[in-house]
Amino acid sequence: MATSSSSARPSATTAGRSSNPASYAYDVRTGAEVWAFDPIPRSPDHPGIATWAKGERTRTGAANVWSVISADAERDMVFLPTTSPSPDFYGGERLGDNAYANSVVALRASTGAFLWGYQTVRHDLWDLDIASQPLLFSHTDAAGNSRPAVAQATKMGFVFVLDRETGESLHPVEERAVPASDIPGERAAPTQPFTKLRLIATDARPLPRWSISNEHRAGCAALLAGVRYEGIFTPPSLEGSLLFPGNDGGANWGSMAYDSGARIGYVAVNRIPTIVKLIPRKEFRAARRGRTLHGNPAELAEQGGTPYGMARTELLFDDFPCLEGPWSTLAALGLDRGEVLWERPVGKIGWRDLGPVAGNWGHFIRGGPMVTEGGVVFLATPYDHTLRAHDGATGEVLWSTVLPAGAHATPMGYRHAGTDYVVVTAGGRLTGGGRRGDHVLAFRLESGNAAP
């Protein structure tokens, strides 16, 4: 449900007055700060203050914007995709729904005045930041009426479609009960919003396992032993909880692309589950020395100021997933009606042949798609170092080329002297994604082909 400025006063601050703002606006000619906005309440007039148990006395940070802000210059509006409040996996020191973390926030671009906010996750305990840029488009309903809209893809695989001027949802959103936390001092939100347009299974049925060998099967079983899973929004626990599709799952940094002629949105979707375990403070130092979780290499975080540290690891054994795929897909969305038009696995695990089935389940995409005026969708996949062109109507691969390194970026298109080009960077990364490099590659679009 969106909260508008009619029920809450603006929370932007003028330069120098905000104690810890998360977003700033500057005068492009002078560099002077014009306004600042903090999604976390630092004063009694903050529009989300009623959703924080300690109000402006809350001692937390983050909820900042680390994706890309979208702007509607005609309406003097900017749209902020905010992140989770800190720490990520324990909220006992920040009880309440925590608006306007994990929200699409609309501000007046010229003044920073709060217009409305729509929270996609309440009291985030899963690191479900809004990592994708809000997509601005014109929505047409069944009666043919159009209105300005904003679509927000999320790590849950939910896509929220909102009225750009009011924040009202343009598709049905159901409030569903979700699992409670069993951690002392924690109170998970009792319900979460489930929008009509979803790309990830959300129920509590056991997720189908997959293995490549007996050793892999045994390693995955050890990883999952005793782990709690009751569907999406299963809270972190002392035993360890499975977070699906995971904090790197759903739609991530690559964001969405939109073909205004065909009225289709495109998004890359990951299914990379994570196991998260809370560790009591007195046990955390020893656990940190080991840097493992259930035998797997793990990331450990202090979560300072709380009773619990945290360990998390992806549900992979020997770098191979433990659950059936597809692990990454490209999806086409009818944003007007809120429907998935098609979805196809994309990418491959590049270092081993997994056969005709699992070999076509994809493997973790960081970048996103771009679409041309002619309805061709370009997407780069990092682990097989490939750039592909897809038919926007069907998802069929029209053309592909192998890149000199892994591409974690979204392709860019431009036109010069009447000719269209697609550019992508291929740099690999230090911790994965195949060969490293420092390449920027341009391809000229020709009829039926793309030439380097």
Question: Angle 6-12-15 (CA atoms, 0-180°, nearest 5)?
Answer: 155
Of 192, 188, 168, which Cα lies nearest the Cα of 180? 188
Distance from C-alpha of 155 to C-alpha of 117, rounded to nearest angstrom: 18
In eight-state DSSP terms, residue 18 is: -
Radius of gyration of the chain measured on its C-alpha atoms: 22
User: Hey, is 217 helix, strand or coil?
Assistant: helix
Q: Is-contact 127 314, C-beta < 8 A?
A: no
Active site residues: 127
User: Hey, is 317 helix, strand or coil?
Assistant: strand
Annotate 348-398 with DSSP letters as a single string: --TTS--HHHHTTS-----S--EE-TTSEEEEEETTTTEEEEEETTT--EE
In eight-state DSSP terms, residue 235 is: P
DSSP E strands, 172-273? 173-177, 191-195, 241-243, 256-259, 264-270
Q: Is-contact 82 103, C-beta < 8 A?
A: yes
Q: Which two tokens stand for residue 147?
A: 């209105």
At residue 128, what is the residue type?
L
